[in-house]
Amino acid sequence: MNERKTHQEQLRGAGKESFSLPHLGGTSPVDASYTKKGPSQSSVSDSKESHFGQETQSRTSATENTVGDGRPNDSDSLQKGYSFDICVEKIGSFVKLQPPLLVKNREKKNEMKRRTEGENIKVLRPGVVLLKCYLPLMDQVKLVKMCRDLGLGSGGFYQPGYRDGAQLRLKMMCLGKNWDPETSVYSDERPTDGAKPPPIPAEFLQLVKGAIQDSHAYLESTTKVRKVEDIFPSMSPNICIVNFYTQRGSLGLHQDKDESQESLRKGLPVVSFSMGDSAEFLYGEQRDIDKAEKVVLESGDVLIFGGKSRNIFHGVSSVIPNTAPKVFSEETNLRPGRLNLTFREY
């Protein structure tokens, strides 16, 4: 009970090491600080072959206070199971203008440049690997669309909170198993409305598998370790926590420790996908922001931590507004902010 309370306090950003800014995305199931219950706040303000097809959607202006069908996006309706639309809806006969070919070409050149200059895979510390620009634009577009479709259905995005009225500053959806912030426990249904979490799409699992395999290949070619699995295990994810954050926010340093004892003992990794605006990600051995290392996670980056680093403290000091690639924003219609998917094996 004391351990669970401590974990909740970490997630709420309690203590001097936590941040006073609102939520943001990293690799925690919650990935955010919290706010007292009240009215929702509105939003601020291909060189690599795709693993699956690209689809586009319309874009227009809308506030965070409504969902796709026009229902109010207040905390009460969300707690009853109403879904939140992470994308901006088309209104009336408005037709989205496609981004100029020059803009698309520039974005593709920038993506290619990032992939070809320097090392795209970096070992931040033993057991922590960053794959820069790993997810091609087409795959990011598909991921956003699939998350949106799942999020509007049963068990989709909702406003998580606590019994004392405190609310996490994010919209959350669980795939595979539900994670409850009040109890820090995984289960087969969501306590707020009894909804069962949707299954993890096979396309998501394919991308996770590829990222781990590419990390193994890189480690084998750059280290003298014969069995990479011994220091950086593989895993078969059966949990995916999908969080959407607006452009304001932060995340206090914390540990991910709600998976099974066997999973934690083996050091089975957490795999995190970042899409949308960039974020400053912190990590370290202690829950002390002054001693933490920092790295910027951009749209398309994949971060993996496992092995000896499975229990590192991590968090986000800030989200960087208006840093999502222009073509990404045009093609996905994702609201301003950051979409974060974290995969793990219970």
Report d(CA 181, CA 159) in Å as an integer. 11
Query: E strands along 188-260, which residues?
Result: 239-245, 251-254
Query: Is 290 known as a binding-site position?
Result: no
Task: Provide the token pair at 103.
Answer: 């803009």
pLDDT at 320: 96
Report d(CA 147, CA 162) in Å as an integer. 24
pLDDT at 317: 83
- 275 near 336, Cβ under 8 Å? no
- 237 near 272, Cβ under 8 Å? no
- 52 near 139, Cβ under 8 Å? yes
Q: Which residues contact 319 (CB under 8 A, 6 or more apart)?
A: 24, 25, 245, 247, 248, 249, 250, 277, 278, 279, 280, 337, 338
Please give the model's pTM, rounded to 2 decimal places.
0.75
Query: Is 254 known as a binding-site position?
Result: yes
pLDDT at 299: 98
Query: Is 314 known as a binding-site position?
Result: yes
pLDDT at 195: 96
What does each of the 346 residues of the chain score in pLDDT, given as a tens digit? 444 444 555 555 433 333 333 333 334 444 444 444 443 333 333 334 444 433 333 333 333 333 333 333 444 444 444 579 999 976 654 555 555 666 556 655 655 554 444 469 999 999 999 999 999 999 999 999 999 999 999 999 998 888 898 887 788 999 999 999 899 999 999 999 999 999 999 999 999 999 999 999 999 999 887 889 988 899 999 999 999 988 887 777 989 999 999 999 999 999 999 999 999 999 999 999 999 999 999 999 999 999 999 999 998 888 899 999 999 999 999 999 999 999 999 9
